[in-house]
Amino acid sequence: MGEKEKAKSTRKKKVPQWAKFFPDFIIERDSEKCINCRICVKECSYGAHIWNAKKKELSEDHTKCVGCHRCEAMCPTRAIVIRRNPSDFREHAVWTPWFIKNVYKQADQGGVLLTSTGCTIPFRSYFDHLVLDACQVTNPPIDPLREPMELRTYLGPKPDALEVEAAGEGRFRLKRPLPRQIKLEVPIMFAAMSYGAISLHVHQGLARAARDLGTLYNTGEGGLHASLYEFGGNTIVQCASGRFGLHVDYLKAGVAIEIKIGQGAKPGIGGHLPGEKVTEEISKTRMIPVGSDAISPAPHHDIYSIEDLRGLIFALKEATEYQKLVFVKIAAVHNVAAIASGIVRAGADAVVIDGLKGGTGAAPTMFRDYIGIPIELAVAAVDQRLREEGIRNWASVIASGGIRCSADVIKLIALGADAVYIGTPALIACGCTMCQHCFTGKCPWGIATNHPELIKRLPPEVAYEKIYNLVHGWAHEMKEMLGAMGLNSIESLRGNRDKLRAVGLTETEMKILGVKHAGE
């Protein structure tokens, strides 16, 4: 940015900025309702509301509005409405405003298009073409309010068989203990979102919610803030290519270590936390100087092959004395099944598959929208491949990327996942309006920011309560759906594709998903 500013000033004045001519949103202010309280000016971190002190009036810079609706929500007299800019370009089926405006932006500034959240291209959503079964007559549906309904899930490698010995009086005991397992009371975990990408308050909320729900949250690659070590029993620490904030106490802080190879929102590239976001606290946590860019390289520079991955998995296990499980997270790409098989054979205790629709705090638009494959297909392919190789028990499969509701969770488990990660739903629970500008670090809702004033807008207790409520609700819905299917335990759904039917999918799609068409 700095470089560009400089370039601009040396250039001749007034090169038009096409992108500024055509704002995405317009701010409508009802002057009859407006009382000039200027709350909107304070609330808008992008500076779209302007107070003219001389004239004592409010005006708007529509080009700065990102459509986050913060001002609209906070306006005490409901005087503001944010609308899509009704001014249209001439219709063109190929050159939609999205592509025209992207060309303008790049022509203006010559950079990479940046964005946030997950893929917005309306590729077929397989979730929306799968329906679930329910019992009628021959098998009683089960009411989870009256009967036990179990969501408990254990993550970790399982042997193919148990060894048991007699312990007298008709009792038995294990001949040797199971490999280490992680207990989840609900198979929904919180996906890696780093401190830096999101605020410390959200991290604190996630950690508390994970503890009270009996599940896990993931630190992401930004290290672990000192205040969060007490939640270690519910923490997955991440080891990504930048190795930020990574030291042995950090590795030992959680119950699992996740090696992040890739992310569904941006497969094949690393991450970038701009220096402006590296505040004092973040600098301490990430172990980098204040104000310096935190750039994670695209590959781990010690992993150029699968055997290198095995090296890192066991280096981490050695460093933590085999007390922690090691997960490996990859983006769902074309060859995901073979890669997952390699990862399991390399010794990972769980393989995390992040699909095309997985979210991010910042990614190049081209990567977010066009790279990777949908999670539904990826999970089906991975589960099937691991079964064919007889190694499905060796590691758990965790799915993420594009989950929007509890039925999506149920469908992924029926396709073969042990558990899922959710990221975006947890943030929406905290008030996110999906304006897709997390990368600016100015989140007016106090979520994807670390600006000291902005983070006050979302206290940790609020984040905790909202996230807890969301997962509590989803868990209840999952129990109801299981009960309707005549199941009283989640493991009887895992990989149970008989419980799914396709509506409107092709033969190939159904073959990959391993499901029949509705009516069959």
Tell me: does residue 518 bind another protein (CB under 8 A). Answer: no
* Dihedral, 510, 262, 206, 152 alpha carbons, nearest 10: 40
Per-residue interface string for the shown chain with another protein, residues 320-359, x marking contact by CB under 8 A: ------------------------x--x------------
Assigned token pair, 433: 């309006």
Determine how β-strand 350-354 pairs with β-strand 325-331.
Answer: parallel
Asked if 162 touches another protein (CB under 8 A), the answer is yes
486 lies in the site for another protein, by CB under 8 A: yes
Residue 140 touches another protein, criterion: CB under 8 A: yes
86 binds another protein (CB under 8 A): no
Is 166 among the residues that bind another protein (CB under 8 A)? yes
Measure the CA–CA gap between 393 and 300, rounded to whole angstroms. 27
Select from 382, 353, 348 the least CA-distant residue to 264: 353
Q: Is 480 in the site for another protein (CB under 8 A)?
A: no
> Buried b / exposed e across 105-115, counting CB within 10 Å, b at 16+?
beeeeeeebbb
Structure tokens at 274: 């701009």
Does 152 contact another protein by CB under 8 A? Answer: yes
List, in order, residues 6 or more apart from 181 with CB less than 8 Å away: 154, 155, 156, 158
State yes or no: residue 495 binds another protein (CB under 8 A): yes
- Binding window for another protein (CB under 8 A); candidates: 120-128, 230-238, 297-305, 479-487: 479-487
* Segment interacting with another protein, rule: CB under 8 A, options 73-81, 95-103, 168-176, 208-216: 168-176
Burial 262-298 (b: 16+ CB within 10 A, else e): bbbbbbebbbbbbeebbbebbbebbebeeeeebebee
**Shortest spacing between CB 166 and another protein, in angstroms:** 5
Residue 157 binding another protein, by CB under 8 A? yes
User: What whole-number distance in Å separates Cα of residue 237 and Cα of residue 323?
Assistant: 13
**Which of residues 157 and 270 has its CB atom nearest to another protein in the complex?**
157
| Residue whose CB is less far from another protein, 163 or 318 | 163
Nearer to another protein, 262 or 495 (CB): 495
Cα separation values, 389 from 74, 98, 169, 337, Å: 56, 45, 40, 11
With CB under 8 A as the rule, give the number of residues binding another protein.
Answer: 55
| Closer residue to another protein in complex, CB, 43/349 | 349
Between β-strands 130-132 and 419-422, what pairing exists: parallel, antiparallel or unpaired? unpaired
Among 305, 390, 507, 508, interactor with another protein by CB under 8 A = 390
Q: Which is nearer to another protein, 275 or 514 (CB)?
A: 514
Q: CA 361, 471, 125 angle in degrees (round to 5)?
A: 60
* Strand ranges (E), 264-360: 272-273, 294-295, 325-331, 350-354
Q: How far is the CB of 138 from another protein (least distance, A)?
A: 4
**Binding positions for another protein, 108-137, rule CB under 8 A:** 135, 137
Which residues lie near another protein (CB under 8 A)? 135, 137-140, 142, 147-148, 150, 152, 154, 157-167, 170-175, 177-179, 181, 344, 347, 387, 390-395, 485-489, 491-499
